[in-house]
Amino acid sequence: MSIPKPLTVKQRTAIGIVFVVLLGIAFFQCFRTTFDLFWAFDVDFDRDMSYVQATLDGAYGKDPSYLHEYLWYNPLLFLIETGLVKLTGLPVNVVLVRAGAYLNLLGPICFFWMCLRLFDYKIALAALLSFLFLASGNIYLVLGATYMPWLYPFAFMLFAFFLDILLCYQAFTTQKISWFALLGLAVGITFLGHAAPAVIIVLMMISLQTSALITAIKQKQPVLVKKYIAQGLVAFLCFCLAAAPILYYVIGKYHLHIINREPSEYTEGLFFINNLWGLLKANFSFGFLIAIVGAIVFYRSFPRGLIRRIILNWWIISTSLYFYATLVAGLDHRYGIHLPAMVPAFHYFIYMKAVQSVFFGFGLVFLTQPIRKYFLPLVVLIAVAWFPLYAKREDFTQGRQKSIAKQESRDKVEVYNYILHNLDPNTVILCENDASLFPVMATGRKMVSNAYTFSNPYVDFDRRQADRITMLFCIKTGQQQPLRQLLSTYQVSYVLLSADALKEMTPEAPLPGRPVLRNNSFTLFALK
């Protein structure tokens, strides 16, 4: 490959303008989706609120939902959100729903920088066009690798993966031990935010280093063998150091003994093991076709070397992990066969979509060679022409509508505010399944049993769920045993019942306690 000519100031300015225009179009849509909202629609954000609230209450390292249990969820994003709450003075719910449009900008910025560093400006701009507007196809933005207004951890942490790719390139290019130390620290920090990208990078490092190690052994170069082993050990130690705020709990306290597998095996309908054809149809688009062309171009013409190995490892590892995680969930749900699991399959799928955008960049540059003089305005034209369809995506329209509906559910919001401002953070509340998600989980107060996908994987969910059902049944029927024993076991001091649950109580059943809050949908009882 010939060395490209240095860009002139005029060319750099034009590239910068196109980059800002693309990013500005996407930001405009994301900003207007959430700028005036007070609540985020998805229960994922209620989980994140619980961790932010627990940290504000001085309980970092504790499970915000279960008394006497420990942290199990990646802490980086909720620590940043906690800092934003303290900095701005805004309520937790407002920060979580409005900050995404700003914080998630790191993803496309770092993606563009990565592509610019590894390839050239045309591929970088074309890849960014795909990343922002095209790669998701007909699937939800949350299931693709893109910029969005919703502050999901896996959407926010995209930026860290792209920076890790650059650090990986730098470390293996320079072969300096200091860069491997920095790479290990960066991957450890990535793990604090999201496990999937860290796993991909770790496996990529193992692949690249093992290849170099085998070559050194074959060539009988013991100095290089020692050097490569030292690089790996330094990177590993630095990873452990950076990831210690979560490893201390999941290894030191729980010894990685997973009991509840649902948080790591949760599967969206689109990703069921028998729905491969549906997944392919949902991803089929002209952007996907251009990415296929780009993948062929990349494989056939991109020179052999480190960058090629990094990109191919990225694609192969993320695809393999996706199919492995899909197989793990399928075997468990269908046959009860337990294989090691870490995160749901769609978390790896996100990084398959990210590399799709890289390949799209190669494909668009290849297909537009006859009009390459007009490449920059063409990229802008595609973005502007696509915007009307982009703006009508359900991720924006329905997400906003659901968020507005949530903030208008005044009874739940009233219960949330009462619990938050009147109950001690270690208070245990017995409630029904729906209320456990919102309003109770979001308060950071404790409960008997959370929903299975949000329940601590190192705690026996089935036992807690069975005990909750038993207690609620006893309250409805007036049975005192085993109610009293279970209330004592879980240290329950409040009971939250829906209006429907109260109607189901038998005439002889006494109220579980003293009503301290009552509205049309709920009654909160104090047991003492």
Check pLDDT > 80 for residue 112: yes
Q: Residue 516 in 3-state DSSP?
A: strand
CA torsion through residues 309, 312, 316, 318, sign: positive
CA torsion through residues 45, 329, 71, 438, sign: positive
Locate all alpha helices (DSSP H) within 130-275, ordered by sequence: 153-156, 158-174, 177-193, 195-218, 222-247, 262-265
HEC profile of 374-435: HHHHHHHHHHHHHHHHHHCCHHHHHHHHHHHHHHCCHHHHHHHHHHHHHCCCCCEEEECHHH
Check pLDDT > 60 for residue 360: yes
Check pLDDT > 70 for residue 194: yes
Check pLDDT > 50 for residue 527: yes
Neighbours of 206 (CB within 10 A): 14
Tell which wins on pLDDT, 334 or 307. Answer: 307
Return the structure tokens found at 342: 């870490």
Mean per-residue pLDDT of the chain = 95
Question: Tens of pLDDT along 373-390?
Answer: 999 999 999 999 999 999
Q: What is the pLDDT of residue 170?
A: 98
Quick one: 50 exposed, middle or buried, by C-beta within 10 A (0-12, 13-18, 19+)? buried
- The whole-number average pLDDT for the span 66-87 is 98
Are the beta carbons of 3 and 121 closer than 8 angstroms? no
Are the beta carbons of 54 and 62 closer than 8 angstroms? yes
Return the structure tokens found at 302: 């991109």
Count, residues in the chain: 528
Q: At what angle do helices 106-118 and 9-34 cross, to 10 degrees?
A: 150
Distance (Å, whole) CA 357 – CA 360: 5
Distance (Å, whole) CA 248 – CA 263: 20
Nearest Cα residue to 483 out of 507, 456, 510: 510
Q: Residue 62 in 3-state DSSP?
A: strand
Q: At what angle do helices 106-118 and 306-335 cross, to 10 degrees?
A: 130
- Strand-pairing partners, residue 508, are none
Q: What is the pLDDT of residue 2?
A: 45
- Place 1 in a pLDDT band, splitting at 50, 70 and 90: very low
Share of the chain above pLDDT 90, in %: 90
Q: What is the pLDDT of residue 459?
A: 98
- Place 4 in a pLDDT band, splitting at 50, 70 and 90: low
Question: Tens of pLDDT along 117-155?
Answer: 999 999 999 999 999 999 988 888 888 899 999 999 999
What is the bridge-based pairing of β-strands 514-518 and 522-526?
Answer: antiparallel
Q: Residue 518 in 3-state DSSP?
A: strand
- Place 528 in a pLDDT band, splitting at 50, 70 and 90: confident
Phi, psi (5° rounding) for residue 99?
-75, -20
Q: At what angle do helices 9-34 and 121-129 cross, to 10 degrees?
A: 10
